[in-house]
Amino acid sequence: MSTQETVRRTADSVEGSEALRIDEDRTVQVIDALNTDLAASYVLYHQLKKHHWNVEGAEFLQLHEYLGEEAADVERAADEFAERAQAIGGVPLSGGATFEAHAPFDPEGPDLYDVRTSLRNDVEMMAATIETMRDHVALAHDLGDFVTEDILRAELVTLEEHAHHLEHYLEDDTLVLESATH
């Protein structure tokens, strides 16, 4: 429980920036988009870390390391989104339940799944995030917030690369046999 006696700013407030000269209506829209991307990133981050910690099998080490790299990139993106939202006058979202409520998808359940199911779930979550981020790139462009547009574009490139690489892990061409019986 918080022991804070006074609140400096409420979570849903917007405080304009004279220096950046983005009007409040546009700022509210961009902050909402950034907070959605922030939420999606943290929910995706936690799912990737779950799979990073629990992956097993012949490809364990390679997948363990790759999922860790993906998670780090997604966490870095989340920080970029939060920093930009704060810079233009918003209050970035925080907290697990808040992130889940604002993400554009439902997170995977707490159970452990086989590697293919886990990776398919990661690809699906990334695809939903990619679609949302593309919409937000267009929104930022249309509103004339080219810095936010550039931030989103850069993170979108990285996320698309990761989604594409995960799809390769799911291909049916593998050296690992599913069954020893022929």
Average pLDDT score, the chain: 91
pLDDT category of residue 3 using cuts at 50, 70 and 90: confident
Cβ–Cβ under 8 Å, residues 6 and 62: no
pLDDT category of residue 151 using cuts at 50, 70 and 90: very high
pLDDT category of residue 175 using cuts at 50, 70 and 90: low
| Whole-number Cα distances in Å, 111 to 14, 47, 51, 125, 145 | 38, 11, 11, 17, 41
Tokens of 61: 């080490």
The answer to which of 18-27, 95-104, 129-138 has the lowest mean pLDDT is 18-27
Domains of the chain: 24-169 (1.20.1260.10)
Rounded CA-CA distance 37/43 in Å is 10
For 34-93, what is each residue's pLDDT tens digit?
Answer: 999 999 999 999 999 999 999 998 889 999 999 999 999 999 999 999 999 999 999 999
**pLDDT higher for 22 or 158?**
158
